[in-house]
Structure 1
Amino acid sequence: MHTSRPTLARSVATPRLLRLLRWLPGLALSAAIALAAIRLGELPWLQTHGLSPLIVAILFGIVLGNTIYPYIGTQCGPGIAVAKQTLLRAGIVVYGFRLTFHDVGHVGTAGIVIDALVLTSTFALSLFVGRRMLGLDRDTSTLIGAGSAICGAAAVMATEPIVKARAEKVTVAVSTVVVFGTLAIALYPLLYQWNLAWHLLPVDASGFGIYIGSTVHEVAQVLAAARTISPQAADSAVIAKLVRVMMLAPFLLALSLWMRRDSSGAQQSNAHHPSHRDGKAARVTIPWFAFAFLAVVGLNTAAPLSPALRADAIDIDTWLLTMSMAALGLTTHLSAIRRAGIKPLILAALLFGWLIAGGALINRLVTAVAG
């Protein structure tokens, strides 16, 4: 007896439909929080202080996650997991529509070198200080370093699939971006005024904008700080920042390879321990979404979207990333954050100081060499 094709189709479709139904409550909750965060993110006060919808969403999520969510976590859990993982990767890919490779040419070779040096030095400092001096675990040091070195909360979230860190560690890293990125918005305009007297950096607003873009955490925070100085500073700051964001993909690939080597070394050094006798080599986690991100940037360079379609793509990207942030907040326990202690904040503060002082030194040296 042969099974009819409609019967086979129904047998395949039913598990998928059931899976979608399991996802709906969690996705609906994440979407509701994202909607509230996006609407609040339009308030002038929050925009002035560089608090993007992503940050508002994680704060909302933390509040609900430690009050209401424990009672509905069983029903919402599957959808929340999808929002934290699948929607996050999709959001990083769609983020590519904000960028083109032409952005690289606008800051020149000097701007690219500055961004690369700031990124690598900040991340290396985070690993050294975090693990060797403060005794933090690898995941926390890596996440805080990525957020400080590249593009704030988005970099932390993009790094999480590589390190597979717990939600509270991700939240701690994102929180440091909020604290010190907000301080940067108020501090950098003052630094510009002091620089007019001391001439430590290029005096023109455009050159100072590159300094802002290469050292401030979030894109929104970069824009908020630079706009206070001048439109010219804002333009160069945003371009320098976008070039820094574009370095996210090669960073993730390098991080995946480094973590495989680090894990392999740990296994070899502990080979005598029973838990390490299986001889399995550490597997490389290939960040395919990072390559898709670069492909979208390339597509957007070769065939740019119309302004209307680009605005739609940015709106979709904002929704995806904001929903993933909401899901992260919902699964974060305040008790775990309290257990993390003061050390992550100390690390982030040291990195913030490096971004200001070390970033200024890098900008000055590279600018001088480039003439």
Structure 2
Amino acid sequence: MFAGLLLTAILAISGVGLAQVAWANTMGLSGLTLAIILGMVVGNTVFPHMAKQVSAGVDFSKSTLLKVGIVLFGFKITIQEMIQIGWSGVVIAVLMVGLTFGLALGLGRLLRLDRQTAMLIGAGSAICGAAAVIATESVVKGQAHKVTVAVATVVIFGTLAMFSYPWLYPVLNMTDQAFGVFVGSTVHEVAQVVAVGVAVNESVASTAVIEKMIRVMFLAPFLLILSAFVTRPSAQGRRVVIPWFAALFIVMVGLNSLQILPAAWVALIVQLDAVLLAMAMAALGLRTRVSFLREAGLRPMLLATALFVFLVVGGYVINVGVMEGLG
């Protein structure tokens, strides 16, 4: 057990550390993304020779530590942040999460893509990138290579968004507040949202991050609904399983909103959470074979492309419509 935990911890800390380097910041690469890349490199080279010794710890990181990381993720969000944006930001977040994921399921069926892959890509596009992908994996029980394919789409189209959105700012002729909400409600990763916002101006960056955190907050309700959908009762009498970590995520958001913990403690918890989630990503990378990614084919990329177009075009229409409707 210890050897596997140590391996994923080393890869996780390396990924989180690399994310602080200038080039990684510029490209919007998060510690989670870099951890899974490092995991894949090791997983397709030396890991097979040590698998027997480290498998227990790797699988523990991929399952249990992932769930703990999702719970602690709640300390990045407060209800006060939602209030600051207003009801329009909340409505936009709900619509973007629901419509993007629903579109992923529908298009996935049309493309004859397996449901797990469609769900993982849909969650990554709809909510918060890699973190949403690995959280959804814990509900749909997707295979490691499917998770990696979904994360790859987040990296590709999140990077495309980082370079294209700053060019859209003068074209769309939106206020800083409106454009910030548009960025936060449509760009995949938190790190990518920050990169886009900073590339425009600080006002856009601040609003974009808050809107993104509102979107992230819907991760828990999304997982609860998805769990009910995936494990809905059948003729065999299966019970709906409510993921405990999703419920505790909501509790942590509430606790963080009360601001009863010292700021230093919260900062430490956030840092610990980054490492735990990165360990889970590293473990997924270790379990992913490049051959599986080749076998995934073109269909996952077609789905991700369609979702990206919807996020940009459909997201703009929804943003403008809600802003005009609610003021």
> What TM-score comes out, normalization by structure 2 length?
0.98
Match of 1:269 in 2: none
Match of 1:331 in 2: 287
Match of 2:229 among 236, 250, 258: 258
**Counterpart residue identity of residue 267, structure 2:** A
Instruction: Report the CA distance between 1:314 and its aligned residue.
Output: 1.0
In 2, are the aligned partners of 1:212 and 1:237 still within 8 Å (CA)?
yes
Is 1:190–2:167 an aligned residue pair?
A: yes
Instruction: Report the CA distance between 1:281 and its aligned residue.
Output: 3.1
State the SS of the aligned residue for 2:113: coil
Structure 2 unpaired stretches of 5+ = none
Instruction: Report the CA distance between 1:48 and its aligned residue.
Output: 1.4
In 2, are the aligned partners of 1:205 and 1:229 still within 8 Å (CA)?
no
Instruction: Report the CA distance between 1:319 and its aligned residue.
Output: 0.7
Instruction: Report the CA distance between 1:195 and its aligned residue.
Output: 1.4
Match of 1:98 in 2: 76
1:163-182 mapped onto 2 (5 Å cutoff) = 163-182=140-159
Match of 2:219 among 231, 248, 265: 248
Paired with 2:140 and 2:13, the residues of 1 have a C-alpha distance of 29
1:84-123 mapped onto 2 (5 Å cutoff) = 84-123=62-101
CA-atom RMSD in angstroms: 1.1
1:1-371 mapped onto 2 (5 Å cutoff) = 23-131=1-109, 133-196=110-173, 203-261=174-232, 264=234, 280-371=236-327
1:21-47 deviation per Cα after TM superposition (whole angstroms, max 9, x unaligned): xx1010000011112112211101101
- How many residue pairs get aligned? The number is 327
1:107-154 deviation per Cα after TM superposition (whole angstroms, max 9, x unaligned): 1011000010011110000000011x1000110111100110000000
State the SS of the aligned residue for 2:86: helix
Match of 1:199 in 2: none
Q: Which runs of 4+ in 1 moved over 3 A?
A: none
Paired with 1:234 and 1:220, the residues of 2 have a C-alpha distance of 11
Paired with 2:130 and 2:76, the residues of 1 have a C-alpha distance of 17
**Counterpart residue identity of residue 135, structure 1:** R
Paired with 2:203 and 2:27, the residues of 1 have a C-alpha distance of 20
Paired with 2:215 and 2:16, the residues of 1 have a C-alpha distance of 25
In 2, are the aligned partners of 1:215 and 1:355 still within 8 Å (CA)?
yes
State the SS of the aligned residue for 1:122: helix
In 2, are the aligned partners of 1:168 and 1:336 still within 8 Å (CA)?
yes
Identical aligned residues as a percent? 49
Instruction: Report the CA distance between 1:284 and its aligned residue.
Output: 2.1
In 2, are the aligned partners of 1:58 and 1:328 still within 8 Å (CA)?
yes
Distance 1:136 1:99, change over 3 A: same
Paired with 1:334 and 1:282, the residues of 2 have a C-alpha distance of 36
1:153-206 deviation per Cα after TM superposition (whole angstroms, max 9, x unaligned): 00011111110111111111111101100111111101112113xxxxxx2112
In 2, are the aligned partners of 1:125 and 1:351 still within 8 Å (CA)?
yes
In 2, are the aligned partners of 1:162 and 1:285 still within 8 Å (CA)?
no
Paired with 2:291 and 2:46, the residues of 1 have a C-alpha distance of 16
Paired with 2:164 and 2:272, the residues of 1 have a C-alpha distance of 32
**Counterpart residue identity of residue 250, structure 1:** P
Instruction: Report the CA distance between 1:280 and its aligned residue.
Output: 2.2
In 2, are the aligned partners of 1:113 and 1:366 still within 8 Å (CA)?
yes
Larger Rg: 1
Paired with 2:238 and 2:284, the residues of 1 have a C-alpha distance of 27
